[in-house]
Amino acid sequence: MDLKKTLTIPVKDRDNLIRLFIGGLLDILPIVNLFSSGYAFLLMQNQIVGEPAEDLPPWDNWGKLFKYGLLTFIASLGYGIIPLIVIGMGTAALYPHVGILTFIGVTLIIIGAIFFLAAIFLFPMGLVLFAIEDEFSAVFSFFRIIEMVSKHFWIYFRVFIIVFVMGLILGFFSYIPIVGWIIGVFVGFYILIETALLMGDVGREIAGTPEPARASDPLQTAAPAEPATSPEEPAAETDTSADGSEPVDEKMD
């Protein structure tokens, strides 16, 4: 994982900046932002099963972008619905201000918060598994997801922390009046892209996708080809005498 290279891909030249700008604009509006979510998912999927990204891909195939953006949104709802229900039940139990109900309510809120944090941590790996198998049901294969996190914990945890720190930076921008909101929109899409690229590297390791050969790598030396041989020319026939001397023309009488 070349972190420096990954962080500079969206801003390395004019074409990438334009694609980043388009994604930021799309990410502003509800429903329309499904296109940007689908764009990030397909970028991650190509990072896993294809060639490592050198540039952001062009904005095309809008139907496919919307499809995968919608599936990503449904998956996020699936991960968040149970923790939110548990927290909601706990909050409702606090209102009567009855001792036992208050205890139950606080307990449910704590359990819901733990579930919510677990969902946040496991959700990216669920998307990685979905991208590898291209089967939506894989995103909810929790036992397999937990197993994958366990086997590749340190690289996954490292990427998760990097994304978390980026999220804190985005939160900082949100506190700047007006200008911070405008900047935050594009910074938010930048973080989405970086999450896709970094999680794509994690998925690449999990899937065992071979790294492409690089121009700087030493070339393998091929075995030298056998030189082409011409058919042997037959030796010139010479008549020799029994004692090995050259034949002598005899003069006929």
Q: How far apart are the first and last CA of the chain?
A: 100
- Write the DSSP symbol of residue 11: G
Q: What are the φ/ψ torsions at residue 91 (nearest 5 degrees)?
A: -65, -40
Query: Tens of pLDDT along 130-176?
Result: 999 999 999 999 999 999 999 999 999 999 999 999 888 877 777 77
- What is the band of 227 on the pLDDT scale with cuts at 50, 70, 90? very low
Q: Which of 28, 184, 134 minimizes the C-alpha distance to 37? A: 28
pLDDT in tens, 204-221: 988 876 766 554 443 343
Asked whether the predicted pLDDT for residue 247 surpasses 70, the reply is no
What's the pLDDT tens digit per position in 121-139? 999 999 999 999 999 999 9
User: Closest by alpha carbon to 209, among 57, 50, 54, 40?
Assistant: 50
Amino acid in the structure at residue 28? I
* Half-sphere exposure (Cβ direction) of 22: Cα atoms closer than 13 Å: 15
Do 129 and 151 touch, CB atoms closer than 8 A? Answer: no
Q: Is the dihedral of CA 97, 98, 102, 105 positive or negative?
A: negative
pTM exceeds cut of 0.85: no
2-16, 39-53, 131-145, 173-187: lowest mean pLDDT where? 173-187
DSSP letter at 240 equals -
Domain boundaries, the chain: 3-207
